[in-house]
Every structure is written in structure tokens, then in C-alpha cells.
Amino acid sequence: MNRMTPLEIQRASFPTRWKGLDPDAVRALLSQLAEQVEDEARIRGELKAQVARLSAEVEEYRQRTNALNEAFVAAQHTAEAMIGRAEAEAQRIVSEAQALADRVIDDAIHRAENLEMIISQLRSRRRTARAEVHKVIELLQGFMRDDEAAEEREAQAPSVALMRPRGREGKASS
């Protein structure tokens, strides 16, 4: 059965029969039915428009959701890549720092060994200098002993006064 429009319902005509229906009542009922069908058609049109609008919104939300999911996946990949690069950079920095620390430690050990060698040489020189000072002291002590012995010998040796002739002493005293 074909759908009738409200206008077709209002203009509908019926064949007449003997003892038929009251045409005014039929017309009133048809008019009322036409209004109801028109209201329902309007409501159905509004509902279709609302369904279309809501379907468009749902589609827009789907597209937004897809875009957000794609953005999230891209952000996740970017974050993972950045984390990977950061971890690699951190590992590189740690490796460089470890290598630098090893070089600094090796340099410090080398310097410490050099200082120990210098200290050992200085100790050896100090012992040598101390031995030389002892030799100088012993030499000076020998000179002092010789000088003291010479002084004693000089004190025991006759003085110049003793060597003068006696005659001259008397003349000099008169």
C-alpha cells in the first residue's frame, strides 16, 4: 500500500451509497487524520534531521577519536624514540665519564708514582748531604783538634822573651 500524504487524505473521496456515511463526519475524521499524519511526518522529519545531526556528530567524534588515537600512537612512538635516544645519550655520557675517570685515576697514579720517585731521590740526597755534613764536621773537628794540639805545643814552646840574651835584659832594666 502506498503512503498517502496529508493532503491526499484530506482530498480523498468515497463513492456514495444508499444509507451511506455522513460526508461531513468522514471529512472531519479525514481532516483530523491528515493533521495527525502531518504532525507525525513533521516529527519524523525532525527525528530524521536529529538522527542525521547525531550521526554526523558521532562520525565527527569517531574522526576525532581516530585522530586522537593516531596522535596518541605518534606521541607514544615519539616518546619511545626520545627515551631511546635519551638512554643512548645517557649511556654515552656515562661511558665518557667512566673513561675520563679512568684517565684521571691513571694520571693521578702516574703523578703519585713520580712524586714517590722524587721523594725517594730527595731522601737519598738528604742522606748523602747528611753524610757529607758528617764528613765536614769530622774534618772540622780534626782541624779543631789539630789547632788545639798546636796551641798546646805553642804554649809549651819557649816564648820570644826566653830567647833574648840575658845581658840585654839587664841593660834594658837599668
Query: Per the domain annotation, does 81 fall within a domain?
Result: yes
List strand residue ranges (DSSP E) for the chain, in order: none
Task: Please state the pTM of the whole predicted model.
Answer: 0.42
| Cα(35)–Cα(7) distance, integer angstroms | 9
The three cell numbers of residue 169 are: 835584659
Give the domain extent around 84: 21-124
Query: Per the domain annotation, does 94 fall within a domain?
Result: yes
Contact present, 11 and 23 (Cβ < 8 Å) = no
Query: Per the domain annotation, does 60 fall within a domain?
Result: yes
* Domains contained in the chain, number: 1
| Cα(100)–Cα(77) distance, integer angstroms | 34
Task: Show pLDDT as tens, one digit a residue, over the chain (174 residues).
Answer: 577 777 877 777 777 777 777 778 888 888 888 888 888 889 999 999 999 999 999 999 999 999 999 999 999 999 999 999 999 999 999 999 999 999 999 999 999 999 999 999 999 999 999 999 999 999 999 999 999 998 888 888 766 655 556 665 555 554
Query: Per the domain annotation, does 11 fall within a domain?
Result: no
Query: Per the domain annotation, does 160 fall within a domain?
Result: no
Query: Per the domain annotation, does 58 fall within a domain?
Result: yes
Query: Per the domain annotation, does 154 fall within a domain?
Result: no
The three cell numbers of residue 146 are: 789539630
| Cα(76)–Cα(79) distance, integer angstroms | 5
Query: Per the domain annotation, does 117 fall within a domain?
Result: yes
